[in-house]
Amino acid sequence: MVDYRREGNVAILTVNNPPVNAISTRVKDGIYECISRAKNDTKVSVIVIHGHGKHFIAGADIHGFSGQRESSKVVATLPEVIAFMEASNKPIVAAIHGTALGGGLEIAMGCHYRIATKSARVGQPEVLIGILPGAGGTQRLPRLCGLGPALDLISTGRHIKAPQALKLGIIDKIVSDDILKEGIAFAKAVIDKPLNGRRISTLPVKDAENAEQLISAANASVRKRQRGMMAPIWNIKAVAESIKLPFDEAMEKEAEYFTVLVTSSQARALQYAFFSERLAPKWEVPGVASYNTVKPMNIKTAAVIGAGTMGTGIAMALLNARIPVTLVEQNKQFLEKGVKMIQDLYAGSVRLGKLTADQAKYLLSNLKTSLSYDDLSTVDCVIEAVYENMALKKEIFAKLDNACKPSAVLCSNTSSLDIDEIASATKRPDKVIGTHFFVPAYYMRLLENVRGKLTSPETIATVQSLGVRIGKIPVVVGNCDSFVGNRMLGTYTSEAQFLLEEGALPHEVDSVIKDFGIPIGAFEVSDLSGLDIGWRIRKERYEKLEKSGKKHDPNARFINGERFSPLGDTLCEKGRFGRKTGMGWYRYEKPGAKEPFIDAEITTLLEDYSKKHNITRRKISPQEIFERCFYPLINEGFKVLEDGIATRPEDIDVIWINGYGWPKYTGGPMYYANQIGLDKIYDTMCYYYEQHPTSSHWRPSALLRDLAKQQLPISQWGKQVASRL
């Protein structure tokens, strides 16, 4: 785990714990033993610590916070090991490449010098997994780089690159990529330098005079950006101790606050989410294939069909990953508008300093445009991103099938339509797959990859690997109406509207949703994305119904015996499409304005509606709103597992956290269900199903029922499903 060797008078400690050199008990013990050995070795004058593989040290082993810890041979805790390093009379140099994160940076700060390669990143990301830097990070970082930057880095968890770390004084020098050679050379040059002033714990905190202002600004930012999370508040509190107490006493506070956080349910949920996100790309279709049995195709070039918001966003996601893209539209004007959208977004990134002008120019140089599918004969992958219309999509896929080389993978960005039907328009259904991106596609991390009945494992592997390459978290799901995310969302949006019919107002429903931690309410989001989008899809369904001989009544509150709310259609008929028309479920100052206001017209419309349908409006409690919005959604997640549409509860959680703003600190809907108690959810489902028998989303899932009855956690779901098959 930690190797020791000596080169002349330099002791070299190599941390070797793949894949990221995380600090396990054995690594911690190894560092302690090697430092002791170097201290006692009379031939050693200076010590270099570095990491084997891609990283210096990416922090403590996260598995250790909730699992069983290995017993320690040397007993000293990590903070004690770091204090032992700092007290050494022989200089210690941290030679950093890859990342020095969390406990890795804390170890580096226990050293007397820190050098790093230019591409190295450092940070204290503990807050993101619900804890705080518990090995002196909250006390040494403000002494090293100042209170303001330390508060920022520790409360946000963001990583910074070596050049910025150098500016902040976190590292002493940027060196070439031959990090060990550089470390040894640097160490030799500092052998005789006095260590006074190099032991960070002995230094005063920089910027202490502005402490009050800096701490209240940090707290204000947390309230705004990390609402509902407890870790950022405790992180700030721990850093604030650095200006109130001497180092040793503040370290005791750090340990006390660390204990509060590490035992919290938020920390457990965030750590579960951390590992779930890393599990998602490792897809598995039980009994068929999995990520480690199939090789993906290498995508060298891609095309995107449709230059609207979705198509241009997808094109940018590909361009950002240096994949040349051909953007195709049927109409020159649309194409030019799309290209302008991309150019403007890159120009904005340049203005914000996220890209240099040269980088933006390079990215744009990989964008080609075309009005003809004939230009797609050599591309490896095409992503269709036109509006949701089956006939149109089938027409496009038939044309793509003729125009593209036989090995090309054909993807549809549909958010709800049947992939098998789309694939049936081609002679290569094995190469057809859904790639459901989320708006804005260049930013949102979720990619829901929808496999059809005939999609080949190689095609699945290809889009999963492409997803990782373009910085997404790809999740494989099965084909059903609206797939996983939108299928579960459907229960929530329907129930939100039923609540309006029965007495709630849009802002009342939205505030319960936001209080739970979802950043935007159901009605706010509907106004943001445009009510007309759902209306168009529904109108297609009404037409289909009519074709099958069933007349659609615009006032109908039931379709095929299932409760339905026509309220969305009513608003659209009045031209209330949401923000873009200045009115939807809310009123806006003008079309396009962002701030929603409660609209008296909507209140009247709802009252009239309820009267017309003989519904007695009543005050609906926040608890009822909560249960009615979220329990059917969770229940649908269980049904999705039962149906084999999702292969793991973790995948559903990743979808909801990364595509729908579900608060990560609750772990996602499936993990959260366990926290509420599966029996409680099941009983509540039964209660509402009795009251609302015409809403099938209240029918409890059999899987939920079985687990609840046997008092089993969701982790046992696989066995339950298997036992019924």
Ligand X SMILES: CC(C)(COP(=O)(O)OP(=O)(O)OC[C@H]1O[C@@H](n2cnc3c(N)ncnc32)[C@H](O)[C@@H]1OP(=O)(O)O)[C@@H](O)C(=O)NCCC(=O)NCCSC(=O)C[C@@H](O)CCCCCCCCCCCCC(=O)O
Q: According to the binding rule CB under 6 A, does residue 130 interact with ligand X?
A: no
Q: What is the DSSP string of 422-458?
A: HHTTSS-GGGEEEEEE-SSTTT--EEEEEE-SS--HH
Rounded to an integer, what distance in angstroms lies between the CA atom of residue 442 and that of residue 321? 10
Which residues in 53-64 are b (16+ Cβ under 10 Å) and which e?
A: eebbbbbbbbeb
Per CB under 6 A, 75 contacts ligand X: no
Q: Is 83 in the site for ligand X (CB under 6 A)?
A: no
Distance of CA 326 to the CA centre of its chain: 28
Binding flag, residue 79, ligand X (CB under 6 A): yes
User: Which of residues 21 and 635 has its CB atom nearest to ligand X in the complex?
Assistant: 21
Enzyme catalytic residues: 106, 126
Complex with ligand X: residue 133 or 485, whichever CB lies closer: 133
Helices (H) and strands (E) in the chain, counts: 30, 21
Neighbours of 329 (CB within 10 A): 22
Q: Which residues have a Cβ under 8 Å from the Cβ of 174 and sit 6 or more positions away?
A: 115, 116, 117, 118, 162, 163, 166
Alpha helices (runs of H) in 191-308, residue ranges in sequence order: 211-225, 231-244, 247-262, 265-279
Cα-Cα-Cα-Cα torsion 551, 392, 419, 545, nearest 10 degrees, comes to 0
- Counting contacts by CB under 6 A, is residue 138 touching ligand X? no
Give the C-alpha separation, 444 to 632, whole Å: 25
| Least distance between ligand X and beta carbon 424 (Å) | 36
Q: Is residue 650 within 8 Å of 282, Cβ to Cβ? A: no
- Residue 103 or 142: the one with the smaller Cβ distance to ligand X is 103
- For position 127 contacting ligand X by CB under 6 A, the verdict is no
Distance from C-alpha of 359 to C-alpha of 497, rounded to nearest angstrom = 46
Spatial separation of the C-alpha atoms in residues 268 and 713, rounded to whole Å: 15
Of 669, 644, 654, 626, which is closest to residue 488 (Cα–Cα)? 669
| Side chain identity at residue 597, one-letter code | F
Quick one: which segment of 97-105, 231-239, 626-634, 709-717 binds ligand X (CB under 6 A)? 97-105
Q: How far apart are CA 145 and CA 132, in angstroms?
A: 18
Question: Interface with ligand X by CB under 6 A: which range of 19-27, 41-49, 368-376, 492-500?
Answer: 19-27
Cβ closer to ligand X: 60 or 367?
60
One-letter amino acid for residue 147 of the chain: L
**Which residues are CB-contacts of 408 (< 8 A; sequence separation ≥ 6)?**
376, 379, 380, 381, 382, 400, 431
Kindly state whether residue 101 participates in binding ligand X, applying the rule CB under 6 A: yes
Instruction: For the CB of residue 292, give the shortest distance to ligand X in the complex, in Å.
Output: 11
Q: Is 483 in the site for ligand X (CB under 6 A)?
A: no
Interface positions, 231-260, toward ligand X (CB under 6 A): 255, 258
* Long-range CB contact pairs, 690-693, < 8 A, 24+: 692/498, 692/563
How many residues touch ligand X (CB under 6 A)? 29
591 and 581 Cβ atoms separated by less than 8 Å:
yes
Confirm or reject binding of residue 452 to ligand X (CB under 6 A). Answer: no
Nearer to ligand X, 258 or 577 (CB): 258
- Per CB under 6 A, 474 contacts ligand X: no
The answer to whether 512 contacts ligand X (rule: CB under 6 A) is no
Q: Looking at residues 256 to 295 of the shown chain, list those that interact with ligand X (rule: CB under 6 A).
A: 258, 275, 278
Instruction: Compute the distance between CA of residue 516 and CA of residue 512 in angstroms, rounded to an integer.
Output: 6
Q: In the complex, what is the shortest distance from the CB of residue 481 to ligand X, in angstroms, rounded to a whole number?
A: 32
**Are the CB atoms for 488 and 659 separated by under 8 Å?**
no
**Cis status of the peptide bond prior to 440, with omega within 30 of 0:** yes
Q: Does 77 bind ligand X (CB under 6 A)?
A: yes
Minimum Å gap between C-beta 20 and ligand X is 4
The answer to the question of residue 135 lying near ligand X (CB under 6 A) is yes
User: Does 327 engage in binding with ligand X (CB under 6 A)?
Assistant: no
126 in contact with ligand X (CB under 6 A): yes
434 binds ligand X (CB under 6 A): no
Q: Binding of ligand X at residue 133 (CB under 6 A)?
A: yes
In the complex with ligand X, the residue whose CB is nearer, 99 or 156, is 99
- β-bridge mates for residue 410, sequence order: 382, 432
- Residue appearing with tokens 């309230």: 223
Contacts for 138 with CB less than 8 Å, ≥ 6 apart: 132, 150, 154, 235, 238, 239, 241, 242, 250, 254
In the window 104-123, what residues touch ligand X (CB under 6 A)? 106
Q: How many Cβ atoms from other residues are within 10 Å of residue 234's Cβ?
A: 23
Nearest-approach distance from CB 138 to ligand X, in angstroms:
9
Judged by CB under 6 A, the chain residues 543 through 582 that form the site for ligand X are: none
User: Bridge-partner residues for 597, per DSSP?
Assistant: 587
**Residue 20 engages ligand X in binding (rule: CB under 6 A):** yes
Whichever of 135 and 461 has its CB closer to ligand X, that residue is 135
| Closer residue to ligand X in complex, CB, 154/432 | 154
Min dist CB 18 to ligand X, Å, is 8
Stretch that binds ligand X, among 15-23, 229-237, 451-459, 635-643 (CB under 6 A): 15-23
CB 60 to ligand X: min, Å: 4
Q: Of these, 3, 5, 8, 63, which contacts ligand X (CB under 6 A)? A: 63
Q: What is the 3-state secondary structure (H, E, C) of 700-711?
A: CCHHHHHHHHCC
- In whole angstroms, how close is the CB of 61 to ligand X at the nearest point? 4
When the beta carbons of 278 and 332 are compared against ligand X, the nearer one is: 278
Candidates 84-92, 130-138, 357-365, 439-447 — which segment interacts with ligand X by CB under 6 A? 130-138
Between residues 55 and 199, which has the closer beta carbon with respect to ligand X? 55
In whole angstroms, the minimum distance from the beta carbon of 514 to ligand X comes to 28
Which residue in this structure is represented by tokens 């049904």?
A: 639
Name which position in 12, 27, 49, 61 contacts ligand X (CB under 6 A): 61
Residue 303 tokens read as 């095309």
User: With binding defined as CB under 6 A, does residue 30 bind ligand X?
Assistant: no
CB of 55 to ligand X, least distance (A): 6
Residue 129 lies near ligand X (rule: CB under 6 A): yes
Nearest distance from C-beta of residue 203 to ligand X, angstroms: 20
Stretch that binds ligand X, among 51-59, 390-398, 532-540, 682-690 (CB under 6 A): 51-59
From 126-134, 174-182, 368-376, 424-432, give the range in contact with ligand X by CB under 6 A: 126-134
Interface with ligand X (CB under 6 A), residue from 99, 414, 491, 674: 99
Measured from the CB atom, the residue of 279 and 559 that comes closer to ligand X is 279
47 by DSSP, 3-state: which? strand
Q: Is residue 190 at the binding interface for ligand X, with CB under 6 A as the rule?
A: no
**Residue 656 CB, nearest approach to ligand X (Å):** 20
Q: Which residues bind ligand X (CB under 6 A)?
A: 19-20, 22, 55, 58-63, 77-79, 99, 101-103, 106, 125-126, 129, 133-135, 137, 255, 258, 275, 278
